[in-house]
Chains A and B, each alone.
Chain A
């Protein structure tokens, strides 16, 4: 870090900045400086407080608006066109079914990709480079486009699986796969090369080294990535819309080939209803969804921080 090249443009900018500071220091009156310094710090603090206040308002507003409907009925009532009888039951079952298959897809595919890219390809491998570029770009594709992929390729077209749980699962799995791959690669890369060398020097094959040493050591990081990916998948609405979100599912989804519904979809439909009671329901539903997601994210972040400084 300390030996940086003074010829680069960025270094020039930084040096110019430092020079400006020096000139400023030598000319300014110290008193003005103290005031300015305090003002600038407060401004930055204000910025971050606005961001945090936004989050607090979002949570608080939903909590207050949804409070009248935040009870067990919300979780046990099924879908209904009457706001008094409507609840999240079918949606929760649907989300659980969808997530079960999402996990089934992303764990082997995500971890497998990450292991392959980190351990079995050289820097020069064209295939590895192609995959890497693809993963980076897939991470930035708008989620609604995954919905169109699901519509054209999975629900209809080549796979023709219909508007089912499995279609939703595959679509969401493809959407969050880049997250799993990127985070898992980071976790694998964080295992020091000395562990790899120690294992190989004992006559272990590359695969034995990966399975017995690298993966166990990288599990906390990989688990973080998987939890973050699942929580992202649980909250996604847009990609499900082209997959038949408008369908009014009044039954509990019962398997991979069953019609599907999911928590964010039901909330979205509630928001769109004109009746005031549905707005209350939507707020209550959002509180439930937020509680699940914040719990998952917090656990993932805790997991990552807990094991971050191991080496």
Chain B
């Protein structure tokens, strides 16, 4: 047997050290700090729930929950106070309804146009502009509704629809909120549409289908759950929107879906009542938190629903 030059050079078996050189406490502390950062979100949720729940529970000690949820007379700051929340819930729903009537067709059309029709260049310009629209502060939308949309509605109001809206109306607020939520519907829908496999489009094109047919009968149905998720998210945003309703829709509790009437939305009630000088523990204070609790539950349910739907369509195509 011949001795091998290289192997023979190191027969003294080396004993490698495999244990950690140091306990790395710094690293462990840092990771614990990072975990603490992440815990802030849980703490915030807990704090929100506690801060809403405690006064709400006290409120329902004073006002029966049935009277609150099903009462049709809202006047908590009047004497004698009335606590039927329905008028402001309907006010919120009315605003949301009219905003969706405006935003759904516009949002879906924008998404379909961007995903199926627009050239790369158009898309690269229009998408950021839509994002800018999403970044406009809500106080600007409120002001716009008050000083631009309302006068235009009054100017062009067709007489056969009845009396024209006054200075405050659900319609003006709804239109402004509609404009505000178009980017939400458009971007979420567009995401879902671009997730539709190209094979489906190509299959239809290969059969001689026109662009409009592919868009309307292949892409839109295939992306439907994403579109629905976007609409729910937008609706939840509309329900929670404060500044526009506060400035343009009025502050009159009004149990009606008529868009020409002024209404009061839940958020507007909170914003007008819970100002810095409200006394903790007063019945008004508790009322604000009970309304907020209801609002919180409504938006939470819608959000959970939309997350579920999005997750489902992601699972289908990814």
Whether A and B touch (Cβ < 8 Å) is answered with yes
A residues contacting B by CB (< 8 A) are 1-2, 4-5, 8, 10-11, 13-14, 16-18, 20-22, 24-25, 33-34, 36-37, 39-41, 43-48, 50-52, 54-55, 57-58, 61-62, 65, 108-110, 112-113, 115-117, 120, 127-128, 130-131, 134-149, 151-153, 155-157, 163, 174, 177-178, 181, 205-207, 228, 231-232, 234-238, 241-247, 264, 267-268, 271-272, 279, 282-283, 286, 289-290, 293-294, 297-298, 301, 305
Question: Could you list 18 further interchain pairs (A-B, Cβ under 8 angstroms) beyond the known A54-B133, A58-B144, A268-B247?
Answer: A10-B313, A13-B222, A17-B204, A44-B116, A44-B215, A47-B110, A55-B129, A58-B179, A113-B34, A139-B303, A145-B52, A148-B274, A237-B243, A242-B276, A247-B276, A264-B137, A268-B139, A301-B128
> In the bound complex, how far is the Cα of B138 from the Cα of A232, in angstroms?
10
Q: B residues 88-116 with Cβ under 8 Å of A? A: 105-110, 112-114, 116
Binary interface profile of B, 259-288, with partner A (CB < 8 Å = 1, else 0)?
000000001001100111110100000001
Is the CB of B119 closer than 8 A to any CB of chain A?
A: no
B42 touching A131, Cβ below 8 Å? yes
- Chain A CB within 10 Å, residue with most, of B112, B114, B302, B313: B112
Distance A112 CA – B37 CA, assembled complex (angstroms): 6
Does B47 make an interface contact (CB < 8 A)? yes
| Contact among B34, B204, B289 for A148, CB-based, below 8 A | B289
Residues on the A chain within 8 Å of B186, using CB: 48, 51
What are the interface flags for B189-218 relative to A under an 8 Å C-beta threshold, 1 for contact and 0 otherwise?
Answer: 000000011111001100111111111111
Interface residue B79 (Cβ < 8 Å from any Cβ of A): no
Residue of B nearest to A239 (CB): B242
Q: Inside 8 A of B146's CB, which chain A residues have their CB?
A: 271
**Considering only CB atoms, which chain B residue lies closest to A5 in the complex?**
B316
Contact B277 A246 (CB under 8 A): yes
Query: How many angstroms between the C-alpha atoms of A172 and B165 in the bound complex?
Result: 35
| CA of A137 to CA of B233, assembled, Å | 11
Residue from A14, A43, A113 in contact with B37 in the complex, judged by beta carbons closer than 8 Å: A113
Name the B residues within 8 Å of A11 (CB-CB).
Answer: 222, 316
* Pairwise interchain contact A48-B109, C-beta atoms closer than 8 A: yes
Q: Does A108 contact B221, Cβ atoms closer than 8 Å?
A: no
**1/0 contact string of B164-187 vs chain A (CB within 8 Å):** 000000000000000100110010
User: How far apart are the CA atoms of A282 and B138 in the complex, in Å?
Assistant: 13
B interface with A by C-beta (< 8 Å): 24, 27, 30-31, 33-42, 44-45, 47-48, 51-52, 55, 105-110, 112-114, 116-117, 124, 126, 128-133, 135-144, 146-148, 179, 182-183, 186, 196-200, 203-204, 207-218, 221-222, 224-225, 233, 236-237, 239-243, 246-247, 267, 270-271, 274-278, 280, 288-289, 292, 295-296, 299-300, 302-304, 307, 313, 316-317
User: Which residues does chain A contribute within 8 Å of B246, judged by CB atoms?
Assistant: 238
Given the known interface contacts A156-B280, A177-B41, the answer about A283 and B275 at a Cβ–Cβ threshold of 8 Å is no
A281 to chain B, nearest CB (A): 11
Q: Are B40 and A113 in contact (CB under 8 A)?
A: yes
Cβ-defined partner of B299 (8 Å) among A120, A140, A153, A297: A140
- A144 to B216, alpha carbons, bound, how many Å? 38
Question: When chains A and B are docked, how far (Å) is the Cα of A149 from the Cα of B45?
Answer: 10
Give bound CA distance, A216 to B303, whole Å: 33
Report yes or no: A1 in contact with B126, Cβ–Cβ below 8 A.
Answer: no
**Selected contact of A141 from candidates B38, B117, B224, B240, CB within 8 Å:** B240
Q: Provide 21 A-B residue pairs closer than 8 Å at the C-beta atoms, listed in order of the A residue.
A: A10-B313, A24-B217, A37-B213, A40-B216, A48-B109, A112-B36, A117-B38, A130-B42, A137-B45, A137-B303, A142-B239, A148-B274, A149-B47, A152-B51, A153-B51, A157-B51, A205-B24, A206-B27, A237-B138, A238-B271, A268-B247
Separation in Å of the B130 CB from the closest CB of chain A?
7
Once A21-B207, A25-B208 are accepted as A-B contacts, the answer to whether A47 and B113 lie under 8 Å apart by CB is yes
- Nearest A residue (CB) for B37: A112
**Nearest B residue to A15, CB-CB:** B200
The residue that B136 contacts in the complex, of A48, A55, A149, A301, with Cβ under 8 A, is A55
Q: Is there an interface contact between A241 and B42, defined as CB atoms closer than 8 Å? A: no
Closest to A111 in B: B37
Q: Is the CB of A140 within 8 A of B303?
A: yes
CB of B225, distance to nearest CB on chain A (Å): 7
How far is B93's CA from A175's CA once the two chains are assembled, in angstroms? 24
Whole-angstrom distance between the alpha carbons of A286 and B141 in the complex? 10
Task: Answer whether A245 and B317 are a contact pair too, CB < 8 Å, given A14-B218, A238-B267.
Answer: no
Contacts A1-B197, A18-B204, A24-B209: A61 and B240 contacting too (C-beta < 8 A)? no
| Cβ–Cβ contact A10 & B136, under 8 A | no
| B236 contacts A140, C-beta separation under 8 Å | yes
Query: CB within 8 A of B204: which of A21, A134, A153, A232?
Result: A21
CA A24 – CA B237 in complex, angstroms?
A: 39
Tell me the complex Cα distance, A293–B165, Å: 32
A136, A157, A241, A267 pick with most chain B CB within 10 angstroms: A241
CA–CA, A112 to B112, complex, Å? Answer: 37
